[in-house]
Amino acid sequence: MSTEAVPTMTINDVRIDPEKLMYKDDLLAFLRENGENDRALSKIRDRQYEAFGEELMWRYPISEGWHLGTFIVLVKEGFLSLPFDFIDKEDYELLELGDAEMIDAATMQSFIDDWRSFSDDLLSAMTDMLHALKS
């Protein structure tokens, strides 16, 4: 396990002190002990909000190829993908911790490209729907 922390950075105007972040393995162990789902992940969100005044995870709700979606979570080593395939009425997203992995630059670029394609297509379709409704 690499224990090298990411450098200090700013995300969405929040200055990130890497010393306040959890290690990937600690986060995964916490989830294994407290539930491999979004309900348990909310406890990590609370911890992040307390330390940074902001949550440092983002739900990526479109398929990245193998899973229904993923959470992108900032950890001490970088950005962790926590994929999910199922959503439960009580526990929300059920995480696939066995497929959790660190995100590299190529994967992040793919996420960006896929999101842009998804959102551009949806926005275009909804704009056409609006025009049809107004006709």
Q: What is the pLDDT of residues 118-128, one digit of tens each?
A: 999 999 999 99
Structure-token match 């842009």, residue found: 116
pLDDT of residue 65: 80
Residues 40, 92: contact at Cβ < 8 Å?
no
Q: Which of 63, 79, 71 is nearest to 115 (CA)?
A: 63
The runs of H, that is alpha helices, within 5-104 are 24-34, 38-52
Beta-bridged to residue 59, according to DSSP, are 71
pTM: 0.90
Q: Quote the pLDDT of residue 8.
A: 86
- Residues of the chain with confidence (pLDDT) below 70: 1-3
The pLDDT value recorded for residue 64 is 76
CA proximity to 60, closest of 22, 124, 116, 121: 116
Task: Confirm if 82 and 24 have CB atoms less than 8 A apart.
Answer: no
Q: Which class for 79: exposed (0-12), middle (13-18), buried (19 or more C-beta within 10 A)?
A: buried
Which conformational region is residue 77 in: left (phi greater than 0), alpha (psi within -120 to 50 degrees), or beta? Answer: alpha
